[in-house]
Structure 1
């Protein structure tokens, strides 16, 4: 049977009961697909007979060598980034489809899928609008990293992390959806708590939209200013001269979009725990790995940014990386400025004016 027989909601979170018994299906799946690749009816039978978690896991493993091959041929190592905005939604849609085909209760999964589609639309639009920007990793980071690694070591890094680990991660963060799927046969339907979880996720996407738009508006204004030497309406020359945005949500957090993005997958994990009535379960691996990835990626990004902009280190001291700083460790009160770092003229040691954040 493709789905484990669970008698209680807590059993939906049991790794030993809902995952381990189905791992052997992973070994037989490739041969089954090869033998039935031209028979849609048999493919559907295989799909329904295979545990949906194993199907999703197998797909993530299949993508890894594809990402590796394309990246090495094109010498562009952002292949996973290009799929970052759609893969989690594909996995969530897979779980929802599986539930529909088996006649299970799908209200909770459908609400989750609706959020996931909105998340994908937002991220895909932002990716293409910025010409290749991705929430996960950007190509310039990999190019910068290549300067520190030999070609052989970078190839190993591409195999193990860029292509494989990241592909696996995008599968792993959606595993709470599998837990919700397992709760469906027990007759669990949407509750008030489920509605709250869904709306919180939508709200976090909205925060990302506002943060991205503020960043986009600033970068466009800076581009116009550098091209025409004219300060666009609603912008300050000092802000544009500084080179990076410190207003709006960016006055409270150095990475408000990243903060919301990490929160999304933590909330999804908590939703899965709530559904199965446990405080924690094995799917925390996805959210935890996502947080670790963002910590490392953001550290490397800021290292590059601090080398590019002289005022960025002071911005780091005054504004929290992800969460706002409740108490500033620097002199001066930001309350009258709504925590908005501004540029003022200070005196260099040699008497020449220098810009600094206030």
Structure 2
């Protein structure tokens, strides 16, 4: 019963976040502001779960803190990145230049609201379960390490790319330095590592295994739906990009290969 309460309240929370975001987008004339609400929605769900959950207090607080650190950092980064810019070409193509309210809500906000709620199911369920058994404490520790690796890749990768683009000498060049020499998408890989880490932390009993589809869906988004593959589709044809792809792994990091002579 507590899971039903937490899950229903989580759905309401994310619906409120995306309703406000839609109204803001309507006022400013662009809907890529929904990217900013992505991290905020997860943070709202983690807060609801921590407050309304009747499960282990330590795990509830841990998941809230880690989710909030990830989500709010991401929201702030995307706010600064999109501020003052026009509509994202991805959303123009997705909407087929139909910006009527109903179409925008169906194609963007309902989809992202449902995805946020579903991906956050491990946090919701975990908030209703008892203490983590000693047998699973090692998995929790691995989860914390995975989260730390993920947010480091994401934050450092974002910072490196921002600094690279700020240098006018790099205009038109392909970013292939720092973490971007280890993987073509350190930010997306970091997101995936964060959510697999949070899932491992959330596991407290056998029922927790049923939520494994949540990090699977997040990884799918990051690789195929709105992440790496879509990004590269728009980069194909840029000078040096194919050569960069030939020596840099797509998603999972590995030591960089030397640039060909």
Alignment TM-score, normalising by the size of structure 1? 0.62
Q: Report the equivalent of 1:289.
A: 217
| Number of equivalenced pairs | 256
- 8 Å CA contact 1:65–1:164 kept in 2: the answer is no
| 1:315 lines up with 2:248 in the alignment | no
Offset at residue 166 of structure 1 (A): 0.7
Q: Provide the C-alpha distance between the structure 2 equivalents of 1:143 and 1:178, rounded to a whole number of angstroms.
A: 30
Q: Report the equivalent of 1:275.
A: 204
Aligned partner of residue 176 in structure 2, secondary structure: coil
Offset at residue 95 of structure 1 (A): 0.9
Change (3 A) 1:144 1:158: closer
Alignment TM-score, normalising by the size of structure 2? 0.82
Q: Report the equivalent of 2:40.
A: 86
CA RMSD in angstroms, aligned pairs only? 3.1
Deviation digits for residues 16-71 of structure 1 (CA, Å, limit 9, x no counterpart): xx5xxx4xxxxxxxxxxxxxxxxxxxxxxxxxxxx111111133344555444443
Change (3 A) 1:144 1:159: closer
Change (3 A) 1:150 1:114: closer
Change (3 A) 1:189 1:97: farther
| 1:200 lines up with 2:200 in the alignment | no
Change (3 A) 1:156 1:316: farther
Tell which structure's C-alpha radius of gyration is larger: 1
Q: Which runs of 5+ in 2 are unaligned?
A: none
| 1:52 lines up with 2:6 in the alignment | yes
Higher helix proportion (structure 1 or 2): 2
Q: Report the equivalent of 1:111.
A: 62
Change (3 A) 1:299 1:155: farther
Q: Provide the C-alpha distance between the structure 2 equivalents of 1:70 and 1:118, rounded to a whole number of angstroms.
A: 24
Change (3 A) 1:289 1:141: farther
Change (3 A) 1:64 1:288: same
Counterparts of 1:123-142 in structure 2, within 5 Å, are: 123-132=74-83, 139-142=87-90
Q: Report the equivalent of 1:266.
A: 196
